[in-house]
Amino acid sequence: MPDGSWEATAGLARVDDARPAFLGDEPGFVRDIFRATVVDAAVGLGTRCEARLRWGVQRVDERGSEPVTGVEDARIGFAVALPRLGVDWSAHLEVKLPNAPGEDRLGTDETDVGLLVGSGWRAPRWGWSANLGFGILGHPVEAGTQDDVLLFGLAGWLSAEDAHLRLFSEIEGLAASRFGNDVRSFGAGAVLGQRFPVTLSARWGLTAPSPDWSAEAMVTFVPRDRR
């Protein structure tokens, strides 16, 4: 993202049969989640770096319990473009802050960290991207315990000639968890428009700890000079 440029996104999501981290084996904690992304903003820092902040609110409906509404954990991320070697390369750091309360399992009351290296290729009408890295997840119950996991993702997209429609699909998730946090999903969707692109997507879980499915609708504001 060019220095000083920015974009902002907001939207709604529904997640069905999700399981809280580290507690996937507890049938009473299976829940449906309604999320509203209030802030998802990125800004360019210099010529090769960008920062992103994501935060929202959620309503969690666990089986046999009263629904609970509260904030989500905020996430702060940084991405740096690396020297190009055949394809594009980048490094990503994301930190999940423990601001969602843990007593109602809206969060874990722990700070999580993820570090990834990404690569990709962009042509006028199609492209792909991939990333691989590791994450450190704090345990919400056992003090001083963490789950070291592998993070991965693979995505591809295809645009119409006028760039007002883009189709995409992706696979992403966690692996090598010691605590049953191997959440993985396949997703697909479409991006409509340019000045205010609307993203409609759906995901399906690929492992037992994963949510059964989710659906999301997002709208992004892109300043006129970046269209």
State the DSSP string of 71-94.
Answer: EPPPEEEEEEEEEEESEEEEEEEE
Q: Is residue 202 part of a domain?
A: yes
Cα 224 to Cα 216: distance, rounded to the nearest angstrom:
25
- Please name which of 151, 217, 225 lies closest in space to residue 181, comparing C-alpha atoms: 151
Q: Is residue 220 part of a domain?
A: yes
Structure tokens at 165: 């429609």
Question: Is residue 88 pLDDT above 70, yes or no?
Answer: yes
Q: Is residue 103 part of a domain?
A: yes
Q: Is residue 138 part of a domain?
A: yes
The pLDDT value given to residue 4:
78
* Cα 185 to Cα 52, 57, 126, 164, distances in angstroms: 23, 22, 22, 26
**SS3 state at 98:** coil
pTM: 0.93
For the chain, give the number of residues.
Answer: 227
Q: Is residue 1 part of a domain?
A: no
- Please name which of 88, 99, 105 lies closest in space to residue 20, comparing C-alpha atoms: 105
The domain in which residue 79 lies consists of 6-226
Cα 108 to Cα 29: distance, rounded to the nearest angstrom:
14
Question: Is residue 119 pLDDT above 60, yes or no?
Answer: yes
- Kindly state the average pLDDT of the residues 58-81: 95
Cα 157 to Cα 168: distance, rounded to the nearest angstrom:
4
Q: Is residue 89 part of a domain?
A: yes
- Structural domains counted in the chain: 1
170-190: per-residue pLDDT in tens? 999 999 999 999 999 999 999
The pLDDT value given to residue 63:
85
If pLDDT is split at 50, 70 and 90, which confidence band does 227 have? low
Q: Is residue 170 part of a domain?
A: yes
The pLDDT value given to residue 121:
96
If pLDDT is split at 50, 70 and 90, which confidence band does 3 have? confident
State percent of the chain over pLDDT 90: 81
Structure tokens at 92: 């990503």
The mean predicted confidence, pLDDT, of the chain is: 94
Identity of residue 167:
L
Contact criterion met (CB below 8 Å) for 40 and 57 = no
The pLDDT value given to residue 91:
98
State the CATH number of the domain containing residue 71.
2.40.230.20
Q: Which of left, alpha, beta for 17 (phi over 0: left; psi -120 to 50: alpha)?
A: left
194-225: per-residue pLDDT in tens? 889 999 999 999 999 999 999 999 999 988 76
The pLDDT value given to residue 104:
82
User: Which residue would you say has higher pLDDT here, 10 or 102?
Assistant: 10
Q: Is residue 36 part of a domain?
A: yes
24-46: per-residue pLDDT in tens? 777 778 999 999 999 999 999 98
